[in-house]
Amino acid sequence: MRKDGKKAPANTRASSRRTVPARPSRRLLLGCYIVADPKGCHGKPTFRGTRIMVADVLEMVASGMAWEAIIEEWNGHINDDAITEAVGLARDL
């Protein structure tokens, strides 16, 4: 609000600007198979070299799907060791 009691035009009010916390700008290695890269999948954990989100695979594991079926579902782009690492990281959280 200006000194004369009138509102300033919306595009000139600097006080309405909020600062947004910066995302990490670097790739974060969460294990041998899992990374979080802000340039891919909005920084959500994925399996290295793919755009397969760890959360999707964990949902499949939680639903009781056999690991062999999960690997086949993702055309072999992940393996048993990658799923083991994902489950271990989820357990530790």
Domain residue ranges of the chain, discontinuous segments joined by +: 23-92
If one looks up domain 23-92 in CATH, what number appears? 1.10.10.10
pLDDT given for residue 40 in this prediction: 87
Structure confidence by residue, pLDDT tens digits, 17-61:
666 555 557 889 999 999 999 988 999 999 999 999 999 999 999
What Å distances lie between residue 81 and 21, 35, 59, 76, 85, CA to CA? 34, 15, 17, 12, 6
Residue 58 contacts by C-beta under 8 Å, 6 or more apart in sequence? 86, 87, 90
* Pairwise CA distance, residues 31 & 17, whole Å: 38
Element (H, E) at 11: none
Residue 11 — very low, low, confident or very high, per pLDDT cuts 50/70/90?
Answer: low
CB 44 within 8 A of CB 55: yes
